[in-house]
Amino acid sequence: MKKLFLILVAIGFSITTYAQQTVSGTVLEEGTDIPLLGVSVLVKGTSSGASTDFDGNYSISDVDNDATLVFSYLGYKTQEVLVAGQSTINVSLETDAQGLDEVVVTALNIQRDKESLGYSISQVSSEEVNVARENNVMNSLSGKVSGLQITQSNTGVDGSSRVLLRGITTISGSNRPLVVVDGIPISNGSGGAGGGGGIDRGDALSDINPDDVASISVLKGAGAAAAYGSLGMNGVILVTTKSGAKKDGVGISLNSSFSFTDVALTPDFQNEYGSGAFGDFAPINADGRPVLDYPFSWSWGPKMEGQTYTNWLGQQDTFSPNPKKNPYKEFYQTGFTMSNTVAFEGRSDKGSFRLAITDEDGQGIVRNNTLAKQTFSIRGTTKLSDKFSVDGKMTYLTSKVRNRPQLAEGSGNTALQLSLMPRDIRLEDVANNTINASGEEIKWNLDNTFNNPYWALENAGNLDEKDRFQGFLSANWDLGSKFNITAKSGMDYIVYDFTNWGATGARAISNGLGSYSHDSGKSRIWNSDILATYSTNISDFKITTSVGSTYRNEFNSSRNIWGNDAKVDDFYRISNYKNSFSNENVSKKGIYSFYALGQFSYGGYLYFDATIRNDNSSALPKANNSYWYHSENMSVLFSKMLGISSNILSQGKLRGSFAKVGNDTSPYRTQAVYNVDQTVTLPYTVASISGSLPSFDLKPETSESWEVGADLGFLNNRIQLDFTYYETNTTDQIMAVPISGTTAYSSKVINAGKIQNKGYEAQLNLVPIDSDDFTWDLGLNFTKSNSKVISLNEGLERISLGSLWTASVEARPGQEFGTIYGNDFLRDNFGRKIIGNDGLAKRGDRIALGNINPDWYGGISSKFRYKNISLSSLISIQQGGEYYSYGRGYRMFFGTDERSLVGRESGIVENGINEFTGFENDVAASAFLKQFTDIFANEVATDLIMDASNVKLREVALTYDFPQTMLRGSFIQSASLSAVGRNLFFLYNAAGDIDPEATYSSGPTSTAFEHSSLPSTRSYGVNLKINF
Amino acid sequence: MKNINNIIKNTVVIAVIGMLFISCEKHLEDLYDNPNAVTTIDDSALFTKAVRSLFQGTTDNGSSHFAGMHAHYYVAGSTWRAPDQYGDGHDGDYNSILNGGYSGTIRHIEEVLQLTTTEGTQNNVRNAMANVIAVLGYAKITDAFGDVPYTEGGKGKSEDILQPKYDTQESIYKDLISRLTNSISILKSADPALGYPDSDPIFNNDLDKWVRFANSVRLRLAMRLRFADSALSQSTVTQCLSNPLMEGPEHDAFMIETEGTGNAWFTRRTGFPSIKMSTMLIDQLQGTADPRLSVFVSEDGNGQYSGMVNGLTDVAFGGSDFANKSDMGLALSSSDSKLYMITAAETWLLRAEAVLAYDNDPVAANAMFRMGIETSLEQWEVDPADIATFLASPAASLAGINDEEQIGTQMWLALTPNYFESWTHIRRTGYPAIPVRTAPELHQGVTNGIMPSRFLYSSFELGSNSANAQEAISRQGANKIDTPVWWDKN
């Protein structure tokens, strides 16, 4: 040992006999002179080198006089400098905007060169989300990223959105990607109402302030997300917020947006026939009002030709077409959204900070539906010593949404009421007649499940208040140049109060007694992790290895109180209700994880990553609560490896990835318990057993996925093509499978089922024109994704994933996931309808009528820039996919839809054969009876299946950057003004008058159903950005 | 030295992680238990749940939305009227009726039956009481559908049977009767302290009443077999008659719902859907000057009793002036209206039928028939003078010509508001006769105008318990609403 040491010393000494010296210097960014941290400075041909510190300084000892230093840094052009005896070498690195050398934020917030990644990742810049600003930042990603499907529901201001990355992989899971803000996974549930009504209380993603976003990375496959463990099974959306680190000195920036929202698409109404049935007026009741029950309260009465008749209020009136043709345009107003952000940012040699405040106010198309939201954000990083730095953030958000609209079959759904109201009723009469002398709601319809929409506006409502705190503290400790430890702890804490009330006097609301409810609760997700990283270079090999550990704690508690039978009118507190009820619930879950990551690269063209992770969850039985997974990613820059440097093929990369991910479940599914029923009057105790049977031997579910892809650049990267093929198989899925009710239970939690999800996605970016004054960027993306149910639990034929009226969306073995089933007409072997002697078709079998998944979807984005003016636009495209519109069905059998005009006078001769004679049917059935029988009595869904294909102009932004010459002398550094529009119009919509995105919830299969949705909206406005 | 430092640092990191691992394992165990519920409970709390579910079931979807209109008591307004047209497009309803039958009473009573036979919590008195409740729960399910899972039914938790086999209605009935016989013999000599002293929602643990209750239920089931298995029916009736039966309203099995908004008919009368009483019921009560008219039916706006004709087509319904017809009587549709499971009046009328059928003794039958009527009137607190007047009227005595029909018609009235049981009674006896619908203003539905005989196995059941349900269909006959169940021979 001692000898070896001596030999080494001798060799070392002999080397130092060459002329050697210490070289030091500073590395800055060219143009801005910002010091660059972590620039690799290597002595060419050796393994010795250093990296720059926080101030851009480096120092290397024992450098040969004739050596060459190589300065390389992600996102910058590599520079080589001959030492030639200099002891100080200062370098300015030029940024490398070209193509594939993109730096992206990857899992665990590790910045990586995109070319080194073995999986597909897309990054979206802040301008793409904060110019044409959306309350829910996810909506801004729609159509921009391949593999990402966003469906924005029509549920009022601050509604939720359905977010899917690469389609559906689990039968009963949320399938929503994990959202990570600055390294902290946040809560991310879907929202929405059920088919029977309710409201959409939004999702957690609408709380991400677009103005604070620096960039968004979309990690699509499990390979990219494996470092997040089970949470990342559905992909990850990484949001990095602004930290102020890019700004030199101190600056102030302003971002102001104002936009109008108005009604863009409404159903087509007929305006020829008014209330009544079978072409006649309704009989008149003893009270002088017509019979307001079905079918007379439908629009199947006489033609409106100016006759005198008794209207719904019992007054003599003229029966004539509605002068205002469309009740939606009359009832709904133009809403607005206004947002203002002021941010103070700065940096010094010791750190950086950003302080920002955003105020957002909005009003929806329903006049009492408003949003007020304020976000405060503080972010700071500081360097306590050369080796130790801390970074922290606190974001506080408070939001108040008033009167989230009732949806679907809810009695207060204004769209349902308006769309079914007999066509002779004038809306101003409805508005002026809401309450009678005895304080009861006046309606046009006896059906006590409906409200008068104007009564509901004044007398029923809700208030949704939320305070949300997100913050983290992280410390980074460099132990020498190769070893580094980062520790981080962060939380997402939400407190909410939701009150909902209805006045007395409306039969739809607790039989006229009035009702009140108040839900309050809090939820907290706390993540703490520590990661130790060691990196080293061995000749042409670069190796980085990390080990880490995370503890995640989820806590939720909620309390609900509700009551009915008000003592005093218009007073909404629980003490005012004669009957009151309450409920409380607590849920806790903990997961701790250990993981190791390794990255190996060779020669700058061969990259290999591997991840291994172990999770331990309290939601699984003790015997199965620990589970492992891993991922391997590989990337080859074959153009660099083979030394190809032609102008035609400028960059070429092949990549591949494999990952195996496990997943746990929600807490308390593995224990049999008795619930103690809340009773008020009973002298004895009542306990009940939940309908969902637990599983005592639940194991984690498993998802295995792989992907291969290529990133190619042509003509100096003016043409770039990314292509990925992926496949995911998810097995042992944890789900509460619906079981036969004859077991006395409704579901059992088991591991079962297999789903295969595969598809391909492509992104093509073109720069057709690139000159100093004029550039044109064109981006096209395309995704095709299919999920197939390979198997369910043995003996189980299907799982219903949701239903509306009699249509359901189901998983059946061998079928595509999300197939819509419903009753068809009775048909013969040739598919002809079998018609009765009354001329009406009959109900046939329940069959597959469509599927929610599009054949493919994509987007076209374009950005022209001429000098200081740029015009960007985005078109989204969906081909195929179906949904069931019960709203259309309702309007058809209520006779308000324009399509219900067919055969009003002559009847409808249904195509088909007579059930007895087999001859072509020639009996005309009344149009009313046909619609009612097909849709309501026979529950036939066939005619209500809509094609979801559409092409939509999603976004247009015209931006003017004020030229520096104009701003010179003022204290303004830069400014830009944009005119923006979102969701402007359909270029093509197969269903005509229904928006295929108009769902009432945002769960995985929510796009299967439309039910009298609020009209689709478009918004247009201006955005002003000023930096001081 | 630097290397040694690194080794120390690495060791510290690994040690810290190792400590974390150990403390976390303990922490996960702390988080495992559900804080919102309990893992053990006295079976009395589950017994009360099962009993309450059973009584609540008399106003459930099958009873109120289907049976009440099939048995021609009333007509619902709006879209709720659909089953009155004898259609079968009610898959969701059929599913909820089947599931509801098992998920309320059966789920909780099966747990009680298991706990009362498990070492440590064993109790044969409680078990006998629970068996009576289980019998009523299962009888209603099989009466509604025919063959249903019974021996394997309701055992999702206790035996992990997720796809239970169907049993024939015949075998179910035989077992139900023997369970009751067993319970009666235990309860006759049981110590009440072993029953449910503070947790009996029906009889406050009065075991004498429980014996009468169980025996009267046995009589009901025995008569159900009259046309399907006459021998068993007759021998069981004999057993019933040698044991105490319900004799007066004080023996009636009823419950008053005090939780929430009370009796479900209250909100149906005052809210959705509006309900109007039937022409058939009003004509019967009016035609015989039955004092129960004002109990079962409210006066319309003109102070008259005006009924709705059942089964109207949509066109005819539109012209029927539905809104102005008579509502359900307040005694049936107030928030504190009683929910009846079985009554003394029903028991007397069952005895009248039995005596007539098996003993061919019209005199004894008439006496019991009159007891049935009198008890029913007493049950509804009719003024004693009015009771005497009605008992003196021809309607209150068997005429010796249409005795079966008279008994059947009085049974129909006496069963009010137990509409489901009444529909079952009409299916079995054919009385009161529900005319076949032939008139053009009446809807013939899918049964050619004949009152439906059962509910369908839902598409969900056919999908989730496919092989067993298909086996039942192949045994019982097509899954249609006019396929009679086993005991339905009329």
CA distance B271 to chain A (A): 5
Q: At A13, is the pLDDT very low, low, confident or very high (cuts 50, 70, 90)? A: very low
Q: What is the mean pLDDT of residues A838-865?
A: 94
Q: What is the dihedral of CA B454, B457, B459, B465, to 10 degrees?
A: 180
Peptide bond into A694 cis (omega under 30): no
Is the pLDDT at B334 greater than 50? The verdict is yes
Q: Supply the pLDDT for residue A7.
A: 44
At position B44, the amino acid (one-letter code) is: S
User: Is the Cβ pair A448, B272 closer than 8 Å?
Assistant: yes
Q: Which residues of A touch B156 (CB under 8 A)?
A: 693, 739, 743-745, 748
Residue A763, phi-psi category: left (phi > 0), alpha (psi -120 to 50), beta (remainder):
beta
Cβ atoms of B109 and B136 within 8 Å: the answer is no
Q: What is the pTM of this model?
A: 0.86
Of all residues in chain B, what percent are helix, strand and coil, respectively (each to 5)? 60, 5, 35
- For B150, phi then psi, to 5°, come to -130, -65
Q: pLDDT of B66-96, one tens digit each?
A: 999 999 999 998 778 999 999 988 988 999 9
- Of A154 and A484, the structure prediction assigns the larger pLDDT to A484
Give the span between the Cα atoms of A237 and A641, in whole angstroms: 32
Q: At B24, is the pLDDT very low, low, confident or very high (cuts 50, 70, 90)? A: low
Cβ atoms of A241 and A393 within 8 Å: the answer is yes
Q: pLDDT of A384-417, one tens digit each?
A: 988 899 999 999 999 999 999 999 988 899 999 9
Q: pLDDT of B427-484, one tens digit each?
A: 999 999 999 999 999 999 999 999 999 999 998 899 889 999 999 999 999 999 999 9
Q: pLDDT of A722-753, one tens digit each?
A: 999 999 999 999 888 889 999 999 999 999 88
Which residues have a Cβ under 8 Å from the Cβ of B49 and sit 6 or more positions away?
Answer: A677, A686, A687, A688, B104, B108
Work out how many CB contacts closer than 8 A connect A with B.
263
Q: Supply the pLDDT for residue A5.
A: 45
User: Is the Cβ pair A579, B35 closer than 8 Å?
Assistant: no
Give the span between the Cα atoms of B37 and A688, in whole angstroms: 10
Q: What is the mean pLDDT of residues B346-360?
A: 97
Give the span between the Cα atoms of A836 and A921, in whole angstroms: 8
Q: What is the mean pLDDT of residues A498-517?
A: 91
Q: Is B464 on the interface with A (CB under 8 A)?
A: yes
Interface with chain B: mutation pick from A479, A740, A824, A894, highest number of B CBs within 10 Å: A740
Query: Taking the CB of residue A130, how many other CB atoms lie within 10 A of it?
Result: 22
User: Is the Cβ pair B102, A685 closer than 8 Å?
Assistant: no
- Where would I find the H helices in A491-646? 638-641
Which residues have a Cβ under 8 Å from the Cβ of A656 and sit 6 or more positions away?
Answer: A118, A633, A634, A635, A706, A707, A708, A709
Give the span between the Cα atoms of B263 and B337, in whole angstroms: 6
3-state secondary structure of A757: strand
Query: Average pLDDT, whole number, for chain B?
Result: 93
Q: Which residues of A touch B99 (CB under 8 A)?
A: 741, 746
Q: Which residues of B touch A445 (CB under 8 A)?
A: none
Q: At B19, is the pLDDT very low, low, confident or very high (cuts 50, 70, 90)? A: low
Q: pLDDT of A125-148, one tens digit each?
A: 888 887 778 878 888 888 888 888
Residue A757: name the closest of A790, A723, A724 by CA.
Answer: A790
Q: At A48, is the pLDDT very low, low, confident or very high (cuts 50, 70, 90)? A: confident
At position A53, the amino acid (one-letter code) is: D
Q: pLDDT of A70-120, one tens digit each?
A: 887 766 777 888 888 888 888 888 766 444 456 777 777 777 777 778 788
Q: Supply the pLDDT for residue A247.
A: 58
Q: For the domain made up of B43-259+419-476, give the CATH fold.
A: 1.25.40
Q: In this prediction, what percent of chain B has a pLDDT beyond 90?
A: 84
Q: In this prediction, what percent of chain A has a pLDDT beyond 70?
A: 96
Chain B residue closest to A798 (CA)?
B463
Weakest-pLDDT range from A335-339, A968-972, B382-386: A968-972
Is the pLDDT at A31 greater than 70? The verdict is no
User: Is the Cβ pair B461, A742 closer than 8 Å?
Assistant: yes
Query: Average pLDDT, whole number, for chain A?
Result: 88
Weakest-pLDDT range from A434-443, A466-475, B166-175, B263-272: B263-272
**CB nearest to B464's CB, from A667, A796, A939:** A796
Cα angle, residue A367 at apex, residues A364 and A369 outer, rounded to 5°: 50
Strand-pair partners of B223: none
Q: At A649, is the pLDDT very low, low, confident or very high (cuts 50, 70, 90)? A: confident
Q: What is the mean pLDDT of residues B369-380?
A: 98
Cβ atoms of B84 and B64 within 8 Å: the answer is no
CA distance B48 to chain A (A): 6
Q: Which residues of A touch B260 (CB under 8 A)?
A: 579
Q: At A16, is the pLDDT very low, low, confident or very high (cuts 50, 70, 90)? A: very low
Residues 231-290 of B with CB under 8 A from A: 258-261, 267, 270-274
Judging by DSSP bridges, how do beta strands A316-319 and B166-167 pair with one another?
Answer: unpaired
Residue A564: name the closest of A512, A605, A608 by CA.
Answer: A512
Q: What secondary structure letter does DSSP report for A276?
A: B
Strand-pair partners of A841: A835
Please name the residue that has the structure tokens 């009152």.
B451
Q: Which residues of A touch B52 (CB under 8 A)?
A: 686
Weakest-pLDDT range from A232-246, A490-504, A658-672, B55-69: A232-246
Q: At A44, is the pLDDT very low, low, confident or very high (cuts 50, 70, 90)? A: confident
- Name the residue ranges covered by the structural domains of chain B: 43-259+419-476
Q: pLDDT of B236-291, one tens digit each?
A: 999 999 999 999 999 999 999 999 889 999 988 877 678 899 999 999 999 999 99
Q: pLDDT of B31-46, one tens digit each?
A: 888 999 999 999 999 9
Cα angle, residue A325 at apex, residues A322 and A330 outer, rounded to 5°: 105
Is the pLDDT at A581 greater than 50? The verdict is yes
Q: At A420, is the pLDDT very low, low, confident or very high (cuts 50, 70, 90)? A: very high
CA distance B46 to chain A (A): 5
Residue A310: name the closest of A278, A294, A286, A330 by CA.
Answer: A286
User: Is the Cβ pair A740, B163 closer than 8 Å?
Assistant: yes
User: Is the Cβ pair A741, B38 closer than 8 Å?
Assistant: no
Q: Supply the pLDDT for residue A10.
A: 41
